[in-house]
Amino acid sequence: MDLLNSVLTASGGGPLRQIAQKFGLSEEQTASAVSALVPALGQGLARNATRPDGLQSLVAALSSNKHERYLERPDLLDQPETVQDGNGILGHILGSKDVSRQVASQASARTGLSPDLLKQMLPLVATLAMGVLSRQNASSAAQNPPGGQTGGLMGTLSQFLDRNKDGSVVDDIMGLGSRLFGK
């Protein structure tokens, strides 16, 4: 299952319902917003995973298992600390507030929802994406013990990022990055 579907179906849809309620949206509008935001997060993750320091940072973040709590307790999505955590994640994944604004603007064009609303949703969606990846990484590590955490993480990322299912994420990363950053 890819990252988007995993976020949309996480914990039986509880996090999605929580976000819908928080922003006064229908579940369909929320699913549309999440569907427009998650691919950019996946692109940022893929870009960061190709850098040695980025991969190491991602391994550490996913190994902490602190992000899974947002899947287990969707009520935490209403907390200011969650927004702070999400903004920290966005800083690592997207790199700057300008890129976050660009992502929200592009998502707005696709969904018809306000860019300001999508900017507010983006940190929450980032926490859910990290929660899904953290859960998948823990599951992968449990199935493949002591083979090294990075191997488990790369398997996890490959599963989410190999969009065309050709067994290589390189072409997907390059294509996603060029679309996100207009290069």
Q: For 6-60, what is each residue's pLDDT tens digit?
A: 899 999 999 999 999 999 999 999 999 999 999 999 888 888 877 778 777 777 7
Q: What is the pLDDT of residues 80-108, one digit of tens each?
A: 999 999 999 999 888 889 999 999 999 99
Output b/e per residue, 61-93; b: 16+ Cβ within 10 A. bbeeeebbebbeebebbeeeebbebbeebbebb
Query: Which pTM was predicted?
Result: 0.80
For 84, residues 6+ apart whose C-beta sits below 8 A from its C-beta are: 123
Q: Where are the domains of the chain?
A: 3-181
Helix (H) or strand (E) holding 34: helix 27-49
Q: Tokens 């955490």 label which residue?
A: 149
